[in-house]
Structure 1
């Protein structure tokens, strides 16, 4: 079976770790590159976290460090959710830098995409700064990008601003560049992330499942994306879930823009479900997910990990 080549752009991040695990151990995916972006915590920490995960799983995927700040705005993080290191709660071995490329993320993505014999799918599960820079610096890569499946945005309200989801809120200018790119885009945002839960009984199963499950169970005890009692939100896994199992989701083709200037609403994804703006669709937006089937898929996927 021909594996689908993907690049994961990430800011690990506890729910990022789940998404990366599923992608790395999937028989359908070929993770060509992991690029890091400042988001949940700063760029040095998220890059170390990516290397820690790869060492834990004994996977040799190259890592390229990306942008340390948004395009224009001051950086913000989510250390209140993920802990000071970004992956609090498990004692990882310190990684070496063998997998860390000297190239920055944008140049590494450009090279991997251009060298690929089949179009590459981009999976950004953090702020979109690296992807925006790639598309601006090297617009010729568009011809060898199959699609962008991103975790970010919201059809309704926000989790960082009143109306804005964290990944878009942190760098709305970058998000606007991506949505305006003309590439096929799937937006798996807050609306599905809030329903994509790991419930307490699932967490209990993870602890005794395998080494990955044990590690994630430890991280979940420190994760503030929900609670161990009521369920933990697996936002980033929704992007991988859509890639591998799109029938879990209800998705609609629509026009999406990003608010840049509103003093109360900057970073809001304006999802024009009713067609008020009269603009052609530029994204497929996930508006619902089957929670029970998602949980089954997630646990089945994690069982395949080491």
Structure 2
């Protein structure tokens, strides 16, 4: 008999965070022990509300903790509401959540659950890495309690600048600290864009009916994503954060290179927020598994499986 693996999802919900949380909760091998909210796609007051509502709507019995309201050093002066909608979750209108947030801050909850898991915890970060950096600042021995640390962020190109991906751009100082201290599995833009859904994928998902609250929520998310994906410059067909969760569920989904990676966080640097991937012959120890190739069809099938799960 095998037990489930405890996981924490640190996130900034977020349409794609919502898909990711739904996917993680649907996986029988995972036990979500905490969802922690950070500023990012929308301001913290909204990501916090959305995190509570997602746990409530999906029926996840876990701690929901609030984290950082602003980056470590730079101003929080840009959100992604143009992609995710003003609320962060597209056209979804949640009922008021029936659950209360954990009284402790995200960094203490992450640490407590890591210790409790006795080295088995998988930590996902699908937003800016502010909460993770603060956890490391408050609890420097965190790395010895983490089994795996998987992020959606960075990559070989940017989407805010030509160098920087959104999550890293929002708080490059936090990202620099985290990459220096934790072994990272990086699911970057080069992977998520290669896993983009097609119009046919969306139509298949939208054809999957269900009367449960989770099923209705997923249908509303997919309706929003499909509609927005037709707008010029949109990347709503790219379900970024769900690819990170899927990469751990399915070990054959991603091909990785092991590299030394650091984050450029200079205030005036043109490439601030870049995840700099050093060549294979760099003498420093490679701490990062960099996603390089993805099985797009397998990811699309996994996401459709999530829709079926909640429709049953």
Q: Scaled by the length of structure 2, what TM-score is found?
A: 0.91
- C-alpha contact (below 8 Å) 2:121/2:148 kept by paired residues: yes
What's 2:5 paired with? Answer: 4
1:204 to 2:203 alignment: yes
Q: Deviations over 1:129-160 (max 9, x none)?
A: 000111121012222111210000011x2111
Greater CA deviation, 28-37 or 209-218?
A: 209-218
Tell me by how many angstroms 1:283 deviates.
Answer: 0.4
1:231 Cα offset (Å): 6.9
Q: Which moved more, 1:44-53 or 1:215-224?
A: 215-224
Alpha carbons of structure 1 residues 80 and 271: separation in structure 2 relative to 1, 3 Å: same
Give the Cα separation in 2 of the matches to 1:228 and 1:215: 21
Unaligned runs of 5+ in 1: none
How far apart, CA to CA, are the structure 2 residues paired with 1:302 and 1:196? Answer: 17
Distance 1:46 1:153, change over 3 A: same
Matched, 1:232 2:226: no
Q: Which residue of 1 aligns with 2:286?
A: 281
* Matched positions, count: 302
Aligned to 2:79: 77
- Alignment RMSD (CA, Å): 2.0
Under a length normalisation based on structure 1, what TM-score does the superposition of the two structures give?
A: 0.93
Quote the residue 2:66 is aligned against.
65
CA distance in structure 1 between the aligned counterparts of 2:204 and 2:63, rounded to whole angstroms: 31
Could you list the runs of 5+ residues in structure 2 that have no partner in the other structure?
none
- State the 1:207 CA deviation: 2.6
Residue 106 of structure 1 aligns to a residue whose secondary structure is helix
Structure 2 equivalent of residue 91 of structure 1? 93
Q: Tell me the distance in 2 between the aligned counterparts of 1:52 and 1:136.
A: 29
Q: Which residue of 1 aligns with 2:179?
A: 179
In structure 2, what is the equivalent of residue 40 of structure 1? 41
Secondary structure in structure 2 of the residue aligned to 1:77: coil
Q: Tell me the equivalent position of 1:108.
A: 109
- Cα distance in 2 for residues equivalent to 1:39 and 1:66: 11
